C-alpha cells in the first residue's frame, strides 16, 4: 500500500492504529474491548501533562480572582467540548455565565451540526475573538487535537496580542497552536481506533483537561468546600435536596437544621454554611463572603476569627 503524502500524516493523532486494522471485521465485543483498551491510555497521557495543567490552573484562578474571564476557543469536536465545559460552570459553581465563555468556529449552530469549513479561516478566528475584547485580566485557552487549526491559532494569537494570557491544549508536540500560546498542554494520545477521528481519545483527553482547568480554578477560588459543591445553584427539587445534604455533611447538622438554615439564607448554600459554621446572621455571612470574594472557607475562617477576637476583648 502506498504511504500517504498528506502533511497530516506525520501527526500522531492522524496516524493509523495497527491494533485496529481489522476493525470492520471484528465482533461487537472485540470492538468494545479494543476501544476500551485504547481509552485506558488517555489518563496516562494526561498524567504526563500535569505540571503544565497545574500552571494553567494558576493562571486561570489568578485571572478570575481579578475579575477576568476564562475564554475557550476551538472548532469541531474541540469547540463542542469547550462549550460543554463553559456551560456546566454556572450550574456547578453558580458562577456568572460571563466568567467562563467559549468561542467556536461556526458559532452556536456548530454545536449541533458540522460547520468544518469555518475552521480554516484565520480571519473568522480573529473576528470572533475580537468580539470578546480579550485583555490583560483574561485567559484564553485554545483547543485543537492537531494543533494546526487556523481558526483557533488566529484567535489565540489575537488574544495574546491584546494582553491576555494564552494556553493551548493539543495532542501533538511542536504544534503551531502550542507555539502561539504562552503555555502548551500537550497530551499525546497517539493514533485513534478510527484513524483521524479525534472525537475519540483526543476528545476524551481534552474533556479531562478542561475538567481539570475549570474545576481546579474554582477550587482555588473557594467555590467548593472540601470537595462539596457548595456553590450549586438550587434550581430544582433534586438540587435543593443536594444543597441540604451538603449542609448536613459540611456543618455536621441534621436535615431539619440544614433545611432551616438554607431557608434563612435565601436558599444560598454558601451563606447557610457560613451561618452554621460560624454562628453568624445571614447579613454577617453575606458580608464575610463578599470580603472573601466568595471563598467559602476563608469567609468561615474570618467570621470565626472575628467572633474569637470579639470575645477576647470583652
* 252 C-beta neighbours (distance < 10 Å), count: 10
> Which residues have a Cβ under 8 Å from the Cβ of 222 and sit 6 or more positions away?
292, 293, 294, 295, 296, 297, 298, 299
Domain stop point among 189, 220, 251? 220
Q: Do residues 122 and 260 share a domain? A: no
* 240 C-beta neighbours (distance < 10 Å), count: 16
Kindly name the residue from 14, 38, 119, 192 that is annotated as catalytic.
119
Domain stop point among 220, 246, 270? 220
Does 119 qualify as catalytic in the annotation? yes
Q: Mark residue 68 as left, alpha or beta (left: phi above 0; alpha: psi -120 to 50; beta: remaining).
A: beta
Q: Which uninterrupted H or E stretch holds 144?
A: strand 139-144
- Domain interval for residue 206: 12-220
Number of structural domains, the chain?
Answer: 2
Q: Is 58 among the domain residues?
A: yes
Give the bridge partners for 285, in sequence order: none
pTM: 0.87
- Alpha-carbon distance of 12 to 188, in angstroms, equals 7
- Alpha-carbon distance of 107 to 303, in angstroms, equals 45
The CATH code of the domain that includes 282 is 1.10.8.1080
Q: Mark residue 294 as left, alpha or beta (left: phi above 0; alpha: psi -120 to 50; beta: remaining).
A: left
DSSP β-ladder status, 139-144 and 165-170: parallel
For residue 195, the 8-state DSSP code is T
- Alpha-carbon distance of 176 to 143, in angstroms, equals 12
Per residue of the chain (314 residues), what is the pLDDT tens digit?
Answer: 344 334 655 655 554 545 756 767 789 999 899 889 988 999 999 999 999 999 999 999 999 999 999 999 999 999 999 999 999 999 899 899 999 999 999 988 888 777 666 788 999 999 999 999 999 999 999 999 999 999 999 999 999 999 999 999 999 999 999 999 999 999 999 877 677 677 888 999 999 999 999 999 999 999 999 999 999 888 889 999 999 999 999 999 999 999 999 999 999 999 999 999 999 999 999 999 999 999 999 999 999 998 777 653 33
Q: Do residues 112 and 257 share a domain? A: no
Q: Do residues 79 and 150 share a domain? A: yes
Q: Which three cell numbers stand for residue 73?
A: 476557543
Q: Do residues 143 and 269 share a domain? A: no
Q: Is 7 among the domain residues?
A: no
Question: Do residues 77 and 203 lie in contact, with contact meaning Cβ atoms separated by under 8 Å?
Answer: yes
Question: Do residues 96 and 77 lie in contact, with contact meaning Cβ atoms separated by under 8 Å?
Answer: no
Does 88 qualify as catalytic in the annotation? yes
Domain stop point among 172, 192, 220? 220
Kindly name the residue from 65, 88, 188, 248 that is annotated as catalytic.
88
Q: Is 32 among the domain residues?
A: yes
Question: Do residues 189 and 161 lie in contact, with contact meaning Cβ atoms separated by under 8 Å?
Answer: no
The CATH code of the domain that includes 150 is 3.40.50.10490
Q: Is 228 among the domain residues?
A: no
Q: Is 53 among the domain residues?
A: yes
Report CA dihedral (81, 87, 91, 97) to the nearest 10 degrees. Answer: 140
Q: Which uninterrupted H or E stretch holds 50?
A: helix 50-65
Amino acid at each position: 500500500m502506498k504511504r500517504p503524502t498528506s502533511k497530516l500524516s506525520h501527526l500522531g493523532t492522524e496516524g493509523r492504529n495497527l491494533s485496529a486494522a481489522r476493525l470492520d471485521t471484528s465482533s461487537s465485543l472485540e470492538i468494545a474491548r479494543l476501544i476500551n483498551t485504547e481509552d485506558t491510555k488517555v489518563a496516562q497521557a494526561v498524567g504526563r501533562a500535569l505540571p503544565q495543567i497545574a500552571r494553567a490552573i494558576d493562571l486561570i484562578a489568578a485571572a478570575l480572582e481579578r475579575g477576568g474571564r476564562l475564554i475557550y476557543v476551538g472548532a469541531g469536536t474541540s469547540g463542542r467540548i469547550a462549550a460543554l465545559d463553559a456551560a456546566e460552570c454556572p450550574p456547578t459553581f453558580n458562577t456568572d455565565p460571563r466568567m467562563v465563555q467559549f468561542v467556536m468556529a461556526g458559532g452556536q449552530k456548530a454545536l449541533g451540526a458540522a460547520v468544518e469549513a469555518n475552521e480554516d479561516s484565520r480571519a473568522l478566528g480573529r473576528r470572533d475573538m475580537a468580539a470578546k475584547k480579550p485583555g490583560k485580566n483574561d485567559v484564553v485557552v485554545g483547543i485543537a487535537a492537531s494543533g494546526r487549526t487556523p481558526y483557533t491559532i488566529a484567535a489565540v494569537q489575537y488574544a495574546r496580542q491584546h494582553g491576555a494570557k494564552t494556553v493551548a491544549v493539543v495532542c501533538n508536540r511542536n504544534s503551531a497552536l502550542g507555539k502561539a500560546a504562552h503555555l502548551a498542554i500537550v497530551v499525546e494520545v497517539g493514533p485513534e481506533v478510527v484513524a483521524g477521528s479525534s472525537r475519540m481519545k483526543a476528545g476524551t483527553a481534552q474533556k479531562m483537561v478542561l475538567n481539570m482547568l475549570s474545576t481546579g480554578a474554582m477550587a482555588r477560588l473557594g467555590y467548593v468546600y472540601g470537595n462539596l459543591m457548595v456553590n450549586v445553584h438550587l434550581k430544582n427539587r433534586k438540587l435543593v435536596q443536594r444543597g441540604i445534604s451538603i449542609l448536613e455533611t459540611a456543618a455536621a447538622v441534621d436535615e431539619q437544621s440544614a433545611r432551616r438554615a438554607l431557608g434563612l439564607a435565601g436558599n444560598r448554600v454558601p451563606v447557610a454554611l457560613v451561618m452554621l459554621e460560624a454562628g453568624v446572621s445571614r447579613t454577617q455571612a453575606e458580608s464575610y463572603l463578599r470580603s472573601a470574594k466568595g471563598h467559602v472557607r476563608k469567609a468561615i475562617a474570618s467570621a470565626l476569627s472575628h467572633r474569637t477576637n470579639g470575645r477576647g476583648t470583652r
